[in-house]
Amino acid sequence: MSKINNAIYEIHHIDQIASRDQWMNQIHPLVKLCLTIIYIAVTVSFSKYDIVGLSAMAVYLFIAFHLAELSFRDALRRLRVVLPIVCVVGIANPFFDRVPVAIGVFHVNAGVLSMLTLMMKGVFAVLASYILIATTTIEKICYALRLLHIPTILVTQILLTYRYITLLLGEVNRITQAYALRAPNQKGIHFKVWGSLTGQLLLRSIDRANDVYDSMTLRGYHGEFRYVGEKYRLRSQDALYFIVWIALFALFRKIPILIVIGNLVGGLFA
C-alpha cells in the first residue's frame, strides 16, 4: 500500500472509530472539546522543572484511553511523525541550562529536567488531542465550535477541509500513478515537472470544489451547515464527567499528588 493510500485508509479508520456506539463517544462534544482545551492549558502551565507534578496529568490519558477502548500502541503508531517533532523542542536545553536541581535525594541537570518536562507536555497535549479526535466525529467537533461562537467561516473551513482531504489525496495518487506509468524507470517525480503537476492538481481541485459547492447549494446550503443539535443535548452524566475531571485537574495542579501518595504508601510499610 502506497503512502497516500495508507493516509486515506487512516483517515477513514479514525472516522469509523469516532463513529462507534461507545460510552466515551456519546459524551457531549462540547464537554470533550472544552475538557481537552483545559487539559492542555493546565498541562503547559506547570513549571519547566516540575516534572513530578506534571506526571500526574498522565492519569487523564490512561483513564480516557481505557474508557474509550483505544489502543495506546495504535495511537503512538499514528502519531509517529508528530511525536518526534514535539520531543525535539527542548533537546538543546541540557547544553544551555546546567544548574543542578534537587529532586528528593537526587540531583539532576536542570537542562535535562526542563527538556523532559517540555517533551512530556508536548506528548500529553498530542495524546489528549488524539483522544478527542478518536472519540468525536468532525461534525460533532464543529458543532461544539459553533456552540462556543467560533465564526462560521472558520468552522466551515475546518469541516470541509477534513471531509474532502481524502478527495485531494485521491487526486494526488492518480497524478503520481499516471506519471509513474509514463516514466517507469524513474524513481520519484523529477523536479522539472513539479510545477506542471502542481498546476494540474490545482485545476482539478478547483473543478472538484465547484462540483461540491453546486451539490451543497442544491441541498439547501446557504452559508452554514445545519448541525443536528437536538441529538447532542447536555446530560447530567456529561456535566458530572466534566466536573470530576476539572476538579482532578485543579487537584493535580495545586498538590504534588504523586509525592503525597508515595509518602502515604511509604508510611504504611514503614
Residue 244 identity: V
| Average confidence (pLDDT) over 2-27 | 83
Backbone angles phi, psi at 140, to 5 degrees: -70, -40
The stretch 124-148 carries a mean pLDDT of: 90
Reduced 3-state DSSP string for the chain: CCHHHHHHHHHHHHHHHHCCCCCHHHCCHHHHHHHHHHHHHHHHCCCCCCHHHHHCCHHHHHHHHHHCCCCHHHHHHHCCCHHHHHHHHHCCHHHHCCCEEEECCEEEEHHHHHHHHHHHHHHHHHHHHHHHHHHCCHHHHHHHHHHCCCCHHHHHHHHHHHHHHHHHHHHHHHHHHHHHHHCCCCCCCCHHHHHHHHHHHHHHHHHHHHHHHHHHHHCCCCCCCCCCHHHHCCCHHHHHHHHHHHHHHHHHHHCCHHHHHHHHHHHHHC
Mean pLDDT of 91-98: 70
Q: How confident is the model at residue 131 (pLDDT cuts 50, 70, 90)?
A: very high
**pLDDT tens for residues 172-205?**
888 888 887 887 777 777 777 778 888 888 888 8
Question: How far, in Å, CA of 64 to CA of 28, rounded?
Answer: 15
pLDDT, position 40: 95
Specify which residues 106 forms β-bridges with: 103
Dihedral sign, Cα of residue 34, residue 121, residue 11, residue 218: positive
Cell of 56: 500526574
What are the CA-CA distances from residue 72 to residues 94, 131, 249 (Å)? 29, 10, 22
For the entire predicted model, the pTM comes to 0.82
State the CB neighbour count (10 A cutoff) for residue 113: 21
Residue 231, pLDDT score: 63
Give the pLDDT confidence score for residue 39 in this predicted structure: 95
The pLDDT of residue 71 is: 87
The model's confidence at residue 249, banded by pLDDT at 50, 70 and 90, is very high
**Mean of pLDDT values over 211-223:** 79
pLDDT digits (tens, 9 = 90+) for 53-81: 888 899 999 999 999 988 888 888 888 87
Q: What is the mean pLDDT of the chain?
A: 82
Q: Which of 16-25, 195-204, 229-238 has the lowest mean pLDDT?
A: 229-238
How far apart, in whole angstroms, are the C-alpha atoms of residue 198 and residue 266? 64
Residue 262's pLDDT is 65
Please give the residue that has the higher pLDDT: either 269 or 154: 154
Confidence of residue 263 (pLDDT cuts 50, 70, 90): low
Query: What mean pLDDT comes out for the span 89-108?
Result: 68
